[in-house]
Amino acid sequence: MTIAQRVFTSLYHHDKQGKAEGICPATVPRILAVSAINKNQQRIFELRDLDRKLCEDRKTPLEHLQPGSLAKSTFRIVVTQGSFVLSNYANDQLQQDIARDRLVAAGEMTQEEADEAAEEWEQREWKIRWETFPSKLTEALVKYHVIVLVMRLYEHIASTMVDKFTLDSYTLDTFKHSKRIDAKEKDNSIQVGRQMFSACWSANLIAFLADYSVHQVILGYGYYRYVQQRRKKRQLSEFATDSSSSANDNNDNDDDDQKPPIAKQSAVLVLSRTLGLTFTATGGAVGSMILPGWGTLLGSNFGDSLGGVVADATSAMVG
């Protein structure tokens, strides 16, 4: 008997014909509000219909370090980082070609000179970009595992603050859940999309919160290092000469003006993660309507990418 069935039978007693007569008198003192009863009853019915246990999709703290999970995550990060290198290289190459074509059209460079410059740029930049690839890959791997550990920490904290029904919604495997919902709703794709939007939003909430937390710490540490470096430069310039005290005062003011706007960067970070979560849930819902399972996964990833693009465009307009 699943957890849902045990809870269901504990809340209801049956007559000889097996019909539910209502809530057992013994459970009445445990119920605090009618709204809470209705909400939990709805969740119990959903679990019973889907035939699953509460929090069965929740991962263990170090599950991502098991050989299979570790291989999959490493492969995915290698492919992602390699794609970034190739896409950035192709984009920069296109920009360089456009700039050289303009010079050729203006008569400031011959076509032969443009071809030689293009070949030189390609050889130099291709080598430079792949030389930095190992360090970027290492940084991405470390960041990924830190974010996963922060996720597990937040899930543990959530388990002490919310009931298992809510925790279950935070730890759902949307790939599996979309198939369960599709099997339950059959050909009602609108209902599948509606339920999967809510499911994807809740299931990705802790992941986006952990991602934001890690990047916020990185941003704060970078700002701290920036302030420390500027302070050391001012101290060195003050010790260098006493006659330039007025100039140093002006430099101090310039340093204050040149500090990166950490509040603005933090706001942009919040905006990007919020948009990413919303677009991920939307993409997962649309993908579930088309192809439950893989459509959910692909739709969520596409939505996350689209949310990043929209966040970048919005921050550029604001800034």
Residue ranges for the chain with pLDDT beneath 50: 2-4, 6-34, 49, 246-257
In a domain, 151, yes or no: no
Among the three residues 13, 28, 53, which one is the final residue of a domain in this structure? 53
Residue 222 lies in a domain: yes
Report how many domains make up the chain.
3
- pLDDT for the residue numbered 18: 43
277 shares a domain with 221: yes
Q: What is the pLDDT of residue 261?
A: 75
Task: Give the domain range for residue 34.
Answer: 1-53
Residues 311 and 197 occupy one common structural domain: yes
pTM over 0.85: no
pLDDT at 257: 46
**Do the domain assignments include residue 26?**
yes
Is the same domain home to 231 and 310? yes
Q: Is residue 33 part of a domain?
A: yes
Q: What is the pLDDT of residue 140?
A: 92
Q: Are residues 184 and 266 in the same domain?
A: yes
> What integer pLDDT is reported at residue 254 of this predicted model?
47
Q: For 273-297, how does the pLDDT look when each residue is reduced to its tens digit (9 = 90+)?
A: 999 999 999 999 999 999 999 999 9
Q: Same structural domain for residues 315 and 185?
A: yes
177 and 310 share a domain?
A: yes
| 235-255: b (≥16 Cβ within 10 Å) or e | eeeeeeeeeeeeebeebeeee
Rounded distance between C-alpha atoms, residue 225 and residue 83, angstroms:
30
Can you tell me the distance from the alpha carbon of 205 to that of 194, in angstroms, rounded to the nearest whole number? 17
Long-range CB pairs of 8-12 (<8 Å, 24+ gap) are 8/44, 8/45, 8/48, 11/41, 11/44
What pLDDT is recorded for position 45?
A: 52
Report DSSP letters for 251-273, one per residue: HHHHHHHHS--HHHHHHHHHHHH
> Are residues 119 and 8 located together in one domain of the fold?
no
Alpha carbons 30 and 35: distance in angstroms, whole number = 14
- Write down the pLDDT at residue 35: 53
Residues 280 and 207 in one domain: yes
Tell me, yes or no, whether 26 and 94 share the same domain. no
Quick one: 190 and 304 in the same domain?
yes
In this structure, is residue 165 part of a structural domain?
Answer: no
pLDDT in tens, 144-169: 999 999 999 999 999 999 999 999 99
* Predicted pLDDT of residue 218: 93
Tell me whether residue 154 is in a domain: no
Q: How high is the pLDDT of residue 310?
A: 81
In a domain, 166, yes or no: no
Question: Does residue 73 share a domain with residue 125?
Answer: yes
164 within some domain:
no
Predicted pLDDT at 41: 56
Specify the pLDDT at position 84: 87
Q: Are residues 180 and 281 in the same domain?
A: yes
